[in-house]
Structure 1
Amino acid sequence: MSDFQLAMLAAGALIVLAVFIYNYWQDRRARRHAEQLFRPTERDALLDGEDVQAIPPAPGGRMEPALPGNAAHADLPMYADAQDAPARSPAYVPPVPSSAAQTSARAAQASARSAQPVLPVDAQAIDCIVTVEAPAGIAAAALYTAQQALLAGLSKPLRWFGWDDGDNRFLELDVRSPGSFTRVSAALQLADRRGPVSDAELVRFYDQIQRLCDQFLAVPRLPSRTEVLQRAQEVDRFCADVDIQVAINVIAREGSFPGTKIRALAEAAGLELHADGAYHATDDDGRTLFTLSNQESAVFSAEQLRNLHTTGVTVAIDVPRAPDPVNAFDRMSQFAQQLASTLGGSLVDDNRVLLSDRSLKLIRGQIAQFEQQMEAQGIPAGGEVALRLFR
């Protein structure tokens, strides 16, 4: 290779190196300029505060409902994904280097945290929650009317809630609810005594929610179907484990029981005749402890009891729905024994096997175990969640 060719190669290499250095210098210059333009001039009290403790998402990026082993999160909002958690309200606090300013910043942060939307505990525990954001607002009555048409026929109960910014709380909505909301939540129950929500029904629920949001220019946040169906199975297994009803039959040893005597004994014990054709023993809040019904096909009514004669009656307790079920069973057993003694009957189970005091004691022990199991899972018998699950 000649000296001229070597010189040309060297010159070309120098030119390439010069271009590279020039481009690098230009890139660094542009980057410094951009940083100066977009660098924040003030400190953000919410983002930079050292005292803000973020709530870490549970494995899978979501808050688990208050089922097995998760009672610690019973008072926290549940979101399907970490990105579903509501953003903090923007705030500006001038950065004054004083303890008073730091105290004000901490107070603002605490206020922002306290204003986060929190659904009722029962919704967090046993519902599929879909959050809907509507920047322009949705009239509550219009939303409820529209969803009735789109979501009719679901096998599981569905409730709607609107976030009230003034009161910092969720309000349950119905067709008469006033005002409009920028944040609403649809809560579809995951399971009940008929079983868990199905995949097909969940798909329909999601599709119709999307149609509803399109109608109101809103954006839904749909939880993962796989996770929702898994939670539905967990709730259903819990229901199956504790779903028990206990019945004591009082049958006539001879002849039959007159309806007038049954009515007198029931009313003397404080029971009231309900529309379902059974007498109910209730607590101070009106919740049913146990019932008294006719063992034969005819239901009780004020008119029929005057002429009614029956060979047997049944007292029964729905354990997961009864508040304080052990004490309710004690009261039920005493009432059944009083019926048998006064009417001349015998206590038997559904197979007409005589129930002794020992048998009743064993049943009481089993009820106590179910009650403890429900308490351990954060769903007490007779509570709001239990009444929804075991409807």
Structure 2
Amino acid sequence: MTDFQTSLIAAAGVFVAGVFIYNKWQEHKAKKSVERAFASEHDDVLMRTEEPAFDATEPVLDPLHAPAPAHAPVHTHADAPVHAPASARAEPSFTLGDVPMVDAGSGAYGKPPHEEVVAPSVVADDVQRAEPSVDLPGDATPPVSPAVAAAPAAAAPVSVSSPAPSPAPVSAPAPAPAPAAQPPVPQRSADAAVPPSELATALVDPLIDCLLPLDMAAPLRGEKLLPVLQKLRLVGNKPVHYVGLAVSGDWEPVQYGTVYTKLQGGVQLASRTTALNELEYSELVTRLRTISDEIGAEPQIPDMMEVMAEARNLHRFVAAHDAQLGVNLAANGAPWDVTTLVGALEKQGFDLRPDGRFVMSDGEGGQLFTLSTNVSPAEETTGRLTLLLDVPCVAPARDGFGAMIACAKSLVQRLDAIIVDDYNQPLSDASIAEIAGQVKEFYADMEASDIPAGSTRALRLFN
């Protein structure tokens, strides 16, 4: 037998094996589709062996078996997801330079478009500012996409550094439902009366998340959904959140005791350190299909190339607006004793955290700025203190920069110090006023991008 004949026989065997495997795969796929189509958690009255007992009392509607509303109501709240039919949504447009673009998003929340931004620039020797030409989508009412206004930068002697990088049965609702196992949303206040729709938008935001609609074959309770959804909460360092469409017609975080007719997942497109990459997205899709099979849902997977473009664009925006503003206090005489210094800083209002950081609280669970002694815990003295403001994480209304300067001036009197820049040059009142103006421009730029400083969106991106 020649080599050619041997090759032909081997090729024929491979072909036959391929056809056999393909047929088996098609048979398995068809069987799975049929099982899903005919699967039902409802009691089939035709299969009962005993006669049903008729009751003269009025019937009670079980919310589990209630049909889902044909159309969920459209919310007009600024932070609430819009639940209008896809055919009724007007596709918003936005511009990239002078080129008109169209939002490629899909689903109830929409998706952020593809844009380009200008790389960040450094303002003089102290403040890192950016002149982005990015056009991001609109506010939390999806999908809206106003353009980002470029903010001019001016020289300022202030330092800016980049940051380091068991469920209950469906048939019997639980007498005391456990709280939803949803990850906390960054908030500046502990207001417990936030509407569910706002919480839903805070968790799955079309501006900063890749939306992952899950079409459910039948309504399910939160008790069945949460244990499955917990299996996919993180991809790389990007959080994955879920919201559900309740039978009441409102989108809300998935929780126990509620029946949901639809699900919407979302993975954050970028963080302070990295953007969602191809490897992470592939892992996300594989794991999402697995959990979808467990709950009888069909995921709608967005195109990878579009998602990667959106992730890179959002990360460029984050990098361009990632600024920390610092001022320094230098001792006029001998260095300060660290033990004595701790007491003085606590009297000034600083809170010493377990990690050694001094934090000035905003009074509502957040922080205005931090203070560093610039020495290790083992050292006994220090001659320099640094106050640092994380600009995109503090709302303009709190005037973080003004509060930081006021604190620095108070410490000057208390510690016999002088306010200096990174080069030990005294920082005059005129320079401070100039910096304050630049901070206002920075805040206006973030507001125009629909990611206001100190907002839930900003805290998710810059934390």
Match of 1:365 among 417, 437, 457: 437
In structure 2, the partner of 1:89 is none
- TM normalised by structure 1 equals 0.66
Segment drifting more, 370-379 vs 153-162? 153-162
Deviation, structure 1 residue 60: 5.1
Q: Distance in 2 between matches of 1:64 and 1:133?
A: 17
* Secondary structure in 1 matching 2:433: helix
* 1:230 equivalent in alignment to 2:230: no
In structure 2, the partner of 1:55 is 89
Q: Distance in 1 between matches of 2:369 and 2:303?
A: 40
Residues 132-170 of structure 1 deviation map (CA, whole Å, 9 limit, x = unaligned): 12123345355443344456553211112122222x322
* 1:134 equivalent in alignment to 2:216: yes
Alignment of 1:1-391 (within 5 A): 54-58=88-92, 59=102, 61-62=104-105, 63-65=110-112, 69=135, 74-76=140-142, 119-120=200-201, 123-149=205-231, 154-166=236-248, 168-173=249-254, 177-259=256-338, 261-298=340-377, 309-324=381-396, 327-391=399-463
* Secondary structure in 2 matching 1:335: helix
Q: Distance in 2 between matches of 1:243 and 1:60?
A: 26
Residues 10-68 of structure 1 deviation map (CA, whole Å, 9 limit, x = unaligned): xxxxxxxxxxxxxxxxxxxxxxxxxxxxxxxxxxx99xxxxx99222342542453995
> Closer, same or farther in 2 for the Cα pair 1:148/1:344, shift >3 Å?
same
> Closer, same or farther in 2 for the Cα pair 1:152/1:243, shift >3 Å?
closer
Tell me, yes or no, if the aligned pair for 1:287 and 1:323 is still in contact at 8 Å. no
Q: Distance in 1 between matches of 2:446 and 2:198?
A: 27
Deviation, structure 1 residue 263: 3.7
Tell me, yes or no, if the aligned pair for 2:329 and 2:418 is still in contact at 8 Å. yes
> Closer, same or farther in 2 for the Cα pair 1:194/1:178, shift >3 Å?
farther
Tell me, yes or no, if the aligned pair for 1:160 and 1:172 is still in contact at 8 Å. yes
Tell me, yes or no, if the aligned pair for 2:242 and 2:266 is still in contact at 8 Å. yes
Q: Distance in 1 between matches of 2:347 and 2:198?
A: 48
Residue identity matched to 1:131: P
Deviation, structure 1 residue 119: 4.5
Segment drifting more, 308-317 vs 220-229? 308-317
Deviation, structure 1 residue 250: 1.4
Tell me, yes or no, if the aligned pair for 1:154 and 1:201 is still in contact at 8 Å. yes
Deviation, structure 1 residue 217: 1.7
Deviation, structure 1 residue 321: 0.3
Q: Which runs of 5+ in 1 are unaligned?
A: 1-44, 47-51, 79-115, 300-306
> Closer, same or farther in 2 for the Cα pair 1:362/1:245, shift >3 Å?
same
Q: Distance in 2 between matches of 1:272 and 1:216?
A: 46
Ranges of 4+ aligned residues in structure 1 off by more than 4 Å: 66-73, 116-119, 150-153
Deviation, structure 1 residue 188: 0.6
> Closer, same or farther in 2 for the Cα pair 1:254/1:390, shift >3 Å?
same
Deviation, structure 1 residue 360: 2.2
Q: Distance in 1 between matches of 2:244 and 2:376?
A: 45
* Secondary structure in 2 matching 1:206: helix
Residue identity matched to 2:207: A
Residue identity matched to 1:161: V
Tell me, yes or no, if the aligned pair for 1:77 and 1:117 is still in contact at 8 Å. no
Deviation, structure 1 residue 376: 0.7
Q: Which runs of 5+ in 2 are unaligned?
A: 1-69, 72-84, 93-101, 116-133, 145-196
Residues 59-94 of structure 1 deviation map (CA, whole Å, 9 limit, x = unaligned): 25424539955665641369xxxxxxxxxxxxxxxx
Residue identity matched to 1:328: G
Tell me, yes or no, if the aligned pair for 2:221 and 2:259 is still in contact at 8 Å. yes
> Closer, same or farther in 2 for the Cα pair 1:255/1:70, shift >3 Å?
closer
Query: Relative contact order, CA 8 A, sep 6+: which one is greater?
Result: 2
Q: Distance in 2 between matches of 1:381 and 1:352?
A: 30
- TM normalised by structure 2 equals 0.57
Residue identity matched to 1:207: T
> Closer, same or farther in 2 for the Cα pair 1:72/1:240, shift >3 Å?
closer
Tell me, yes or no, if the aligned pair for 2:352 and 2:359 is still in contact at 8 Å. yes
Q: Distance in 2 between matches of 1:326 and 1:147?
A: 37
Residues 237-286 of structure 1 deviation map (CA, whole Å, 9 limit, x = unaligned): 21111110011121223322234553444344433333332232232422
* Secondary structure in 2 matching 1:192: coil
In structure 1, the partner of 2:130 is none
Q: Distance in 1 between matches of 2:331 and 2:397?
A: 27
Segment drifting more, 315-324 vs 140-149? 140-149
Segment drifting more, 195-204 vs 337-346? 337-346
Q: Which has the larger radius of gyration?
A: 1
* Secondary structure in 1 matching 2:450: coil
